[in-house]
Amino acid sequence: MVAVTYHCPRCGSLAELDRDAYLADKCVTPHPLDGWEYASPWEAYEDAEGVEIVCGASETRDEGCGEPYYLSFVQFDAGEERQPHTSVTDATFDFLRR
């Protein structure tokens, strides 16, 4: 196990997780990636696709903002790196434009 630190994307508070060194970080985001399943820091998250961290919880070094953020691990499907899904709700449409 190694201690790895992450900054909250909202307030910059530092959180520390003890995790296996083989896990590859994809990103830290204020919102979960579409299609990723997240575990909490106190669960066995080594088999999860990411970790939901609450800023200011016990793994945070200072008070924090109290908002959740998401550490996502690199995932592979049939040998290719998996990308988050994009849904129609992520798109912007302007139907009044001519």
Please check the confidence at residue 95 and state whether its pLDDT lies above 60.
Answer: no
Q: Which domain holds residue 69?
A: 2-90
Percent of the chain surpassing pLDDT 90: 54
Residue 84 domain flag: yes
Instruction: Give the confidence band of 27 by pLDDT, cuts at 50, 70, 90.
Output: very high
Task: Name 63's Cβ contacts closer than 8 Å, sequence gap at least 6.
Answer: 13, 56
Residue 82 domain flag: yes
* Residue-level pLDDT at 96: 55
Number of domains in the chain: 1
Residue 97 domain flag: no
pLDDT (mean) for 69-91: 78
Its pTM stands at: 0.81
Residue 19 domain flag: yes
Residue 31 domain flag: yes
Residue 96 domain flag: no
CB-based contact 73:84 (threshold 8 Å):
no
| Phi, psi (deg, nearest 5) at residue 47 | -95, 0
50-54 and 38-39 strand pairing:
parallel
CB-based contact 41:3 (threshold 8 Å):
no
* Residue-level pLDDT at 86: 55
Could you tell me which residue, 63 or 93, shows the higher pLDDT? 63
Residue 28 domain flag: yes
